[in-house]
Structure 1
Amino acid sequence: MPLDTSESHPSTGRLTAHEARQRLEHARNSRLAQLQALDETGQSTDDQLMTAQAEAIRRVLGEIEAAFTRVEDGSYGACLSCAKPVPVERLEILPYTRYCVACQRRAAS
């Protein structure tokens, strides 16, 4: 399991639960700020692009909340498809990702 549940310094290639939570909180705060910025633009709610952007941000927020659940249940950092560890570099870029790169590619095609 690539998540180190201790709060101490991680071994190579692993995030601590604390680090995972920090990355997820940062991602959530960034998306909430994006939603607020969209709301403050004063654009009409009929604007399809703005609506699509807001929906995409809300989907990511849902993914972030699901990732928090995985941190709590100990499954964070394992691919939901193949159960192999998701590389820490991928988790640093997309802390809410559910899949390793190979499984994500298969799902997208």
Structure 2
Amino acid sequence: MPNLFSDIPNDLPNELFNDLLNNKHIRIERIISHGHTSPDKGWYDQEEHEWVIVLKGEGEIEFGSGNTVKLGVGEYLNIPAHEKHRVVWTTHEEPTLWLAVFYR
């Protein structure tokens, strides 16, 4: 049986993204960060809404408005489509495990 906490690498040179479910209505993604931030290319500006929860670790998301939200274990938020955002910090102490649900 699949487990969200399985196969978390000890060495993580790059953020890890795994689609758990992907169809025309919804995409569910597991993201593992370990001190990573969003790519330098700029802001995420997505066609879908994104509901995200931290299952392990901590992370901080910055929005185009300048507001930031720090998330710890069990904390979640909903990001409306086209709301510019990026991850500006994840803890170096342990991997941060995110579960993101993208929907229209």
With the shorter chain as reference, the TM-score category is: under 0.3
Q: Which has the higher contact order (CA 8 A, sep 6+)?
A: 2
TM-score (norm 1): 0.24
Which structure dedicates a bigger proportion of its chain to helix?
1
TM-score (ref. length: structure 2)? 0.24
